[in-house]
Structure 1
Amino acid sequence: MVMDLAVDLIHATVQLEQPLGDGTRTVGTGFLISAPGADGKPRTVLVTANHVFQKMPGATARIGYRIANPDGSWSYSPQQLKIRDGDGRELWTHHPNRDVAAITIKAPAEFAKAALPMNYLAADDTFDKYQVSAGDEMMALGFPRGLSANSAGFPILRSGRVASYPLAPAKVFPTFLLDFSVFPGNSGGPVFVSRGVRPLASGVQQASNAAEAAPADDGFIAGLLTQQVELNNERLEIGIVTHARYIRETIGLMQNPLTQTTLAEGMTAVTGSKTASAEEAARE
């Protein structure tokens, strides 16, 4: 079986929405990660931007599952996802410093299978190891303005080039820029590098095999889209991506909330003169 991270992430990416009661709705994007719980049992985790859930005032959101039919067609089948308890308390876990959220879900069996393992999330050394730099192409999945690729509810796949330098270390540069148009509804979507083929020592190209290849040989999730950049109400067609390290940390907080204080205290402070940055001009 050929491993194609783009196709796998398309299956693992879902639309999140909440009707606001006035004919409008709040829309965002999420994707599924398979991360064992503290007891070692399988667990499906929905990852998105923290502000996606925060902008949903109600207790339940809708998660856009898709169902494969026997004739090869697909049906869009959204289901309720409880995000707040009866007292209005948040049921998701969020990173103390970064716009990342995660929540355990009970997904239909086919969606639980689509969730990607934790080791597809880029680690601190992934960008250096694979020499990711400014100008490299990355892909992003999402639902711009709440639109999907088709009536089955699949996400829209787009691409852009890394527009900032340097990219590492993540502790110092927790976000990076991607040169592509961002719209409301894209927030929370995965940004990734996909390698459908990998080079052999002889120089011959061979399709990656999921059973043999290391995750980074197939590609990796670089982060999630969290903001668009605007200046004086003008969209600059630049997206801000939060490094996957902070997705890892957020999932870790689900098992050990006490580490939240440690993460907050470990935030790097920058003092002295500095230039105006795209991140400071960003809009959700």
Structure 2
Amino acid sequence: MQVDTLTKRLLFNTVRVDTVLEDGTHGSGTGFVVAHHGPHGQRRFIVTNRHLVEGVRSGGLVFTQAHEGQPQIGTRFELEIEEFPHAWFLDPNSDIDLAIVPMAPLERAAKEQGVQLYHHDIDTALVPDPTTLKAFDALEEVLFVGYPNGVWDHVNLLPILRRGTTATPPGMDFEGKAEFLIDAAVYPGSSGSPVFLYRQEGGSARGAARAPLYFLGVIAAVFYREEENQLVAGPVPANQNSTLVRQSEMIDLGLVIKSSAVVALIEEYCRRWRE
């Protein structure tokens, strides 16, 4: 496969996060590579949810290998991370379900084993500014990438692309937080999936926000119906056999942390540490 289109590149933005939970069960989720240009140059990070890395016994990240700059489709490299939960920088605000780890040491570790990692970055330049966010309509089509219910093309090592729509205006803060809702099939394993506003034709009816792709945020939770007429939002569990999933009904409303929170977390990390 030639990685020669925008959506094909999205297939290589994500990495699969495989974990062993404290109770010995196996979990999976989604991480993705972000590039950020700051005062000290460009730095890359893997972004996921903090609930995927906290309280985990061990974990690893699954990449496609590269050869001469091209993907070796189906050639797997799983990078096991020692003391997995402690490798991640968690958002200082415990209410924000985000965690990041710098790419540089991961790439060095792979190189020491003779492996090049193939990935495409999500540049933070794709994060819409406040003016652009306000120009979006209340109902916009979104695309997200990940490993729902642990499903992926394990032969070719490719994630699943899914579509949905915004369920609350992305330019507003749902319940006063830097979040919004999407109407989409969000399942265990979708935690950490990047969410994009994607327009094949570009443009908008209001004459603003004309880029074909914007990075809107990160899936962090899904709404469940626990009892009649009672809805609650909970983290998308890494374990697809979760009791929460079996005993509750998901209603296809996902909660997305806005991409501005990802930028803020990366900038906080860069203020504290330099490579």
TM-score over 0.5 for the pair: yes
How far 1:172 sits from its partner (Å)?
3.5
Q: Output the aligned Cα RMSD.
A: 3.2
Indicate which of 93, 115, 124 corresponds to 2:90.
93
How far 1:38 sits from its partner (Å)?
5.7
Which segment is superposed worse, 10-19 or 143-152? 143-152
- Mark the CA change 1:77 to 1:101 in structure 2 (over 3 Å): closer, same or farther: same
- The letter of the residue matching 1:13 is T
Partner of 2:196: 192
How far 1:217 sits from its partner (Å)?
1.3
Partner of 1:245: 260
- Mark the CA change 1:188 to 1:71 in structure 2 (over 3 Å): closer, same or farther: closer
Instruction: Report the TM-score, using the length of structure 2 for normalisation.
Output: 0.73
- 1:192 aligned counterpart, secondary structure: strand
> Does structure 2 retain, via aligned residues, the 8 Å contact 1:176–1:243?
yes
Partner of 1:221: 215
- Mark the CA change 1:39 to 1:167 in structure 2 (over 3 Å): closer, same or farther: closer
- 2:7 aligned counterpart, secondary structure: helix
Partner of 2:150: 146
CA distance in 1, matches of 2:66, 2:30: 20
- The letter of the residue matching 1:234 is E
Structure number with the higher strand fraction is 2
> Does structure 1 retain, via aligned residues, the 8 Å contact 2:71–2:118?
no
How far 1:5 sits from its partner (Å)?
3.7
Partner of 1:204: none
Partner of 1:30: 31
CA distance in 1, matches of 2:48, 2:269: 14
- 1:43 aligned counterpart, secondary structure: strand
How far 1:81 sits from its partner (Å)?
2.9
CA distance in 2, matches of 1:75, 1:2: 16
- The letter of the residue matching 1:7 is K
Instruction: Report the TM-score, using the length of structure 1 for normalisation.
Output: 0.71
CA distance in 1, matches of 2:178, 2:130: 10
CA distance in 2, matches of 1:115, 1:235: 31
CA distance in 1, matches of 2:71, 2:257: 39
Partner of 1:278: none
- 1:35 aligned counterpart, secondary structure: strand
> Does structure 2 retain, via aligned residues, the 8 Å contact 1:68–1:74?
no
Partner of 2:49: 49
CA distance in 2, matches of 1:22, 1:90: 20
* Equivalent residue pairs, number: 234
Partner of 1:9: 10
CA distance in 1, matches of 2:101, 2:72: 31
> Does structure 2 retain, via aligned residues, the 8 Å contact 1:182–1:238?
yes
Say which structure, 1 or 2, has more relative contact order (CA 8 Å, 6+ apart). 1
Encode CA deviations 1:114-159: one digit per residue, 9 max, x unaligned: 1122211233333223x2323x210111111222134222110111
1:203-214 matched pairs, under 5 angstroms:
none
- Mark the CA change 1:224 to 1:4 in structure 2 (over 3 Å): closer, same or farther: farther
- Mark the CA change 1:196 to 1:22 in structure 2 (over 3 Å): closer, same or farther: same
Encode CA deviations 1:88-137: one digit per residue, 9 max, x unaligned: 7454232514111111023365535x1122211233333223x2323x21
How far 1:196 sits from its partner (Å)?
3.7
CA distance in 1, matches of 2:172, 2:27: 33
CA distance in 1, matches of 2:173, 2:145: 25
Flag structure 1 segments of 5+ consecutive residues without an equivalent: 200-214, 259-284
- 1:119 aligned counterpart, secondary structure: helix
> Does structure 1 retain, via aligned residues, the 8 Å contact 2:17–2:62?
yes
- 2:100 aligned counterpart, secondary structure: strand
- Mark the CA change 1:23 to 1:171 in structure 2 (over 3 Å): closer, same or farther: closer
- The letter of the residue matching 1:191 is V
> Does structure 2 retain, via aligned residues, the 8 Å contact 1:95–1:249?
no
CA distance in 2, matches of 1:3, 1:182: 28
CA distance in 1, matches of 2:134, 2:254: 21
CA distance in 1, matches of 2:159, 2:7: 11
Structure 1 stretches (4+) deviating beyond 6 angstroms? 69-72
